[in-house]
Structures are given as structure tokens and as C-alpha cells.
């Protein structure tokens, strides 16, 4: 007869982040955590975010700022950029990539989610985004759900005048709302971002109805914020247009999942827009799984389980026409290794 606690056995069997499990409190009691780790776990579970010291060298912060200084032109063919942000500079900029893979950040994320994290997207800002309130689960999600989070690192001091982040503590516990919940067919749109404006209108009405209180983030250079995928957040208006607000946002997924884009998906009719994910350390394609089963064709729909395919080795890992982004990644990392 097994001596294993039946409650914990059932808790560990659930395919969801342990923070969202109905057994979370019981599981937390069984864990041996130091005082600071316990604070981080409790605060993250309750509020959906934590502020902590990521122990990133100051020299890395300054170097990352300098590396992207010439990238805010909106015309580069290598990555998306505009006058405020640069996306996925980790491919071409060494210290952006180092910050995304900072050891202390990865350590804290693994403690919070009890799965290994990996960075897959970076956004470097020189000014506040002024983005409307949203949940990242409209843009990124996984199966099992919820294995995604963001980390916001201040590359300089941020206060109420240079466009701080705003967020709603506790909002991560709200239901997940996506385009199909709003009566729209997401997968019929040619552009996955086609319905963003409608989604933002819904969120604008939702937040007052929840009774949750809006807060703004004041943070010092070198500090970091982790937020859960479903925490509602956005960018405050910039009061002092003469100031910069250099920050780096990195989005992380966790091992062992299938990854997709909710804004372009209609799960009710079996239309999912999968994501082919590249690890923001070396550009490698991240393996994807469905409940422990390896997916043979990551980034394609429908997924095929490797153990159900007779000649898996003959099944190409990439489509015959590789996506332009993959070509850029391949070339960039070939140059780095040269």
C-alpha cells in the first residue's frame, strides 16, 4: 500500500500551474522554502505579480540600452520596431539575450511554476508603451493553460511621469476572456491582430465591473516585476514627453506544453493557431508536448503525436517553406557561432 499523501497525489496529477490548483495551500505547506521564497510564492499567488531583485549586473542593463539605441526606426528588416519598442532584439543583441536568460530570473520562475521556464520573446522600450489594459492570455497561451508569464526589467528608474506600467492586483483570478467569448470568429481574420480593438473595448468595460483597484508601478533601475499571464495590465500615459523609460520585457513559456495564439484561435470549432517557438538563448526550436506526448510537427495544426506516427524520423520538423523569422534566426545564430 502506498504511503503517498492522496491529496498531493491528486494535486500533482492536475495539468495546470500549481498556483491555480485547488490543492495549492496544501501543497505549499509541504514545501520547505526560505522566508524570501515563501513571500514571493504567496504574493504571486494572491496578487498575480511580484517585484524582486533579479541580480542582473548593472553593466548588462546599460549595455542593453546602448545595443538597441539605433533600432527604434521602424524600418529594419531584421525585427519589428517602431519609435517606442524593438521586438526580439535578443536575436541580434548580446546583452538583451543575457537579460532574457538571467539565472536568478529563471530560478524564481521555476520556483513559482514548478516547471522549467524558457524565454521566447523580448520587447525593449525606450518610452512608455501607453498600451491599453489587457491580459497576455489573449496573445499567448499554452495547453495546459497558464504556463506563460512576463518579466519586466527596469533599465532606468521608472516613476509616475515617464509612463509606468499599470496593473490590477488579483485580476489573474478572473476568467480567461478571448475573442470567441465576445461572439467573434477569430480564425477567419487574415490578420491575427484584427480583433484587438474590440477586445480592448471589452476590457475597458470589464475592469470597473470587477471592483479591482488599479495600481501603478514605481520601480528602480535593476528591479524586476514578474506577472502572471492573466494579470490585467497596460501602460500609463506619459506625463513628461522629454523623458525616456528604458525597460526590457521578456515573455516566458514553460516546458512540456503546446503553445498557441488565442487571438487567432477558435477552440470550439477546432481551429487553433499554433506557435512555433524559438528559445531565446540559442534560437533552437522548442519541443512541444501534449500531456507528456511529444508533438512531431510543432507549430502546425493539427498536431501529430510522435508515438502515433510510424516513421517519425521521416516527418519534417519544419514546413517545406520555412517562415521568414526562422531564416533570420538561423542566419543570426550562424553568425554568432562563426
Query: In which band, very low, low, confident or very high, does the pLDDT at 1 lie, cut at 50, 70 and 90?
Result: very low
Sheet strands side by side (includes 148-154): 49-52, 224-228, 148-154, 247-254, 117-125, 85-87
Q: What is the enclosing helix (H) or strand (E) of 204? A: helix 196-210
If you average pLDDT over each of 183-197, 239-253, 298-312, which comes out highest? Answer: 239-253
pTM exceeds 0.85 for this model? yes
> What mean pLDDT comes out for the span 47-53?
97
In this structure, of 50-64, 179-193, 226-240, the range with the lowest mean pLDDT score is 179-193
Cα separation, 235 vs 133, in Å, equals: 7
Cα separation, 7 vs 135, in Å, equals: 32
Q: Quote the pLDDT of residue 18.
A: 92
**Nearest Cα residue to 246 out of 78, 101, 96:** 96
Distances (CA, A) of 259 to 124, 141, 252: 23, 6, 11
Query: In which band, very low, low, confident or very high, does the pLDDT at 317 lie, cut at 50, 70 and 90?
Result: low
CB 23 within 8 A of CB 11: yes
Stronger pLDDT, 186 or 100, i.e. the higher one: 100
Q: Where are the domains of the chain?
A: 46-337
The DSSP result for 83-114, as a single string, is SSEEE-GGGT-HHHHHHHT-HHHHHHHHHHHS
Q: Quote the pLDDT of residue 180.
A: 86
Q: Quote the pLDDT of residue 82.
A: 87
CB 298 within 8 A of CB 287: yes
Q: Quote the pLDDT of residue 314.
A: 47
Cα separation, 164 vs 216, in Å, equals: 6
Stronger pLDDT, 234 or 333, i.e. the higher one: 234
Q: What is the pLDDT of residues 256-289, one digit of tens each?
A: 999 999 999 999 999 999 999 999 999 999 999 9
Total Cβ atoms within 10 A of residue 116: 12
CB 287 within 8 A of CB 277: no
Q: Quote the pLDDT of residue 40.
A: 96
> What mean pLDDT comes out for the span 127-149?
95
Q: What is the pLDDT of residues 169-228, one digit of tens each?
A: 999 999 999 888 888 888 877 776 778 889 999 999 999 999 999 999 999 999 999 999
In the predicted model, what is the mean pLDDT of the chain? 88
Q: Quote the pLDDT of residue 195.
A: 84
CATH of domain 46-337: 2.60.120.620
SS3 for 45-72 is HHHCEEEECCCCCHHHHHHHHHHCCCCC
CB 206 within 8 A of CB 177: yes
DSSP count for the chain of H helices, then E strands? 8, 13
DSSP label of 77? S
Cα separation, 71 vs 62, in Å, equals: 15
Stronger pLDDT, 119 or 329, i.e. the higher one: 119
Amino acid at each position: 500500500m502506498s504511503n503517498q499523501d492522496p491529496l498531493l497525489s491528486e494535486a500533482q496529477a492536475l495539468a495546470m500551474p500549481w498556483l491555480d490548483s485547488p490543492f495549492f495551500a496544501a501543497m505549499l505547506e509541504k514545501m520547505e522554502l526560505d522566508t524570501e521564497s515563501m513571500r514571493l510564492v504567496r504574493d504571486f499567488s494572491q496578487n498575480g505579480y511580484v517585484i524582486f531583485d533579479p541580480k542582473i549586473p548593472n553593466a548588462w542593463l546599460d549595455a542593453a540600452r546602448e545595443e538597441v539605441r539605433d533600432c527604434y526606426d521602424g524600418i529594419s528588416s531584421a525585427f519589428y520596431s517602431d519609435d517606442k519598442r524593438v521586438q526580439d532584439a535578443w536575436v541580434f543583441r548580446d546583452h538583451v539575450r543575457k537579460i532574457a536568460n538571467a539565472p536568478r530570473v529563471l530560478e524564481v520562475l521555476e520556483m513559482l511554476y514548478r516547471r522549467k521556464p524558457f524565454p521566447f520573446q523580448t520587447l525593449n522600450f525606450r518610452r512608455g508603451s501607453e498600451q491599453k489594459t489587457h491580459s497576455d492570455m489573449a496573445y499567448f497561451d499554452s495547453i495546459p493553460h497558464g504556463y506563460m508569464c512576463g518579466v519586466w526589467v527596469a533599465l532606468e528608474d521608472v516613476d509616475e511621469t515617464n509612463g509606468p506600467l499599470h496593473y490590477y492586483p488579483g485580476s489573474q483570478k478572473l476568467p480567461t476572456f478571448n475573442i470567441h467569448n465576445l461572439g467573434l470568429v477569430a480564425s477567419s481574420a487574415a490578420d491575427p491582430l484584427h480583433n484587438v480593438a474590440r477586445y480592448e473595448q471589452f476590457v475597458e468595460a470589464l475592469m470597473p465591473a470587477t471592483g479591482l483597484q488599479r495600481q501603478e508601478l514605481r520601480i528602480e533601475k535593476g528591479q524586476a516585476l514578474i506577472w502572471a499571464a492573466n494579470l490585467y495590465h497596460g501602460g500609463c500615459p506619459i506625463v513628461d514627453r522629454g523623458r525616456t523609460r528604458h525597460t526590457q520585457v521578456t515573455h516566458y513559456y514553460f516546458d512540456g506544453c503546446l503553445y498557441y495564439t488565442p487571438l487567432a484561435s477558435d477552440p470550439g470549432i477546432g481551429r487553433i493557431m499554433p506557435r512555433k517557438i524559438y528559445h531565446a538563448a540559442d534560437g533552437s526550436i522548442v519541443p512541444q508536448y501534449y500531456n507528456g506526448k511529444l508533438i512531431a510537427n510543432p507549430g502546425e495544426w493539427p498536431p501529430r503525436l510522435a508515438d502515433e506516427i510510424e516513421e517519425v524520423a521521416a516527418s519534417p520538423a519544419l514546413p517545406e517553406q520555412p517562415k521568414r523569422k526562422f531564416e533570420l534566426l538561423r542566419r543570426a545564430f550562424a553568425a554568432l557561432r562563426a
